[in-house]
Amino acid sequence: MNRVEILWNGWRNDYVKSSNGSQGGSVFTRLINSGEPDRSVFIVHRSHTCFAVLNIYPYSTGHLLVVPYREVAATDELTSEELVDLWSVVNDGVVALRSSHAPEGFNIGINMGKPAGGSVAEHLHVHVVPRWTGDSNFMTAVAQTRTIPEALDVTYDRVKHEWPVTRDGIG
């Protein structure tokens, strides 16, 4: 029988406690209202109704989250404009990541609600995860640990540089 070893990462406790919404909205709402410069919080793009931010706990290098500004829990709570904008930004993220990191594929998805795996269930967000053949290595299998080969600030610069300029000049 395989036994899962525990790697304690107490630094994630702040994140877990911060995502419960009791401190002025979700972690995404607080991020967007923080007043911090986009680069310092890894926001690579802002559109009219949503933004793209690097996941600071990524599954792989370049893991983006596309998040509506308005805090809603599900896709059917978005306006038509928000829904179209959200998927346009997801697509622009794919374009930027293809250019900046040349992944072989992508996982793109939404976890709506806690039972679906939503860690920030109160604020809808789309995961855009670049993937490469063999990118899951032995560390995940034997130590329940992910290795990310690039620092977030380097990823930020690469993705930001390749973000396409949209029809309205936002880029």
CATH code linked to domain 24-162: 3.30.428.10
Confidence at residue 147, expressed as pLDDT on a 0 to 100 scale: 63
The percent of residues above 90 in pLDDT, for the chain, comes to: 64
* pLDDT confidence band for 4 (50 / 70 / 90): low
Q: Where are the domains of the chain?
A: 24-162
Q: What's the pTM value of the predicted model, to 2 decimals?
A: 0.80
Confidence at residue 149, expressed as pLDDT on a 0 to 100 scale: 74
**In angstroms, what CA-CA distances link 15 with 21, 59, 115, 116, 147?**
11, 16, 19, 19, 19
As annotated, the active-site residues are: 125
Q: What is the pLDDT of residues 105-155, one digit of tens each?
A: 999 999 998 888 878 999 999 999 999 887 765 445 455 555 677 889 999
* pLDDT confidence band for 15 (50 / 70 / 90): very low
Tokens linked to 124:
């809808």
**Nearest partner of 128 among 153, 102, 109, judged by Cα:** 109
Contact between residue 53 and residue 21 where contact means Cβ atoms under 8 Å apart = no
Q: Where are the alpha helices (DSSP H) in the chain?
A: 12-18, 27-32, 80-101, 138-143, 152-162
Q: What is the pLDDT of residues 40-98, one digit of tens each?
A: 999 999 999 999 999 998 888 999 999 999 999 999 999 999 999 999 999 999 999 99
**């620092």: which residue's tokens?**
151
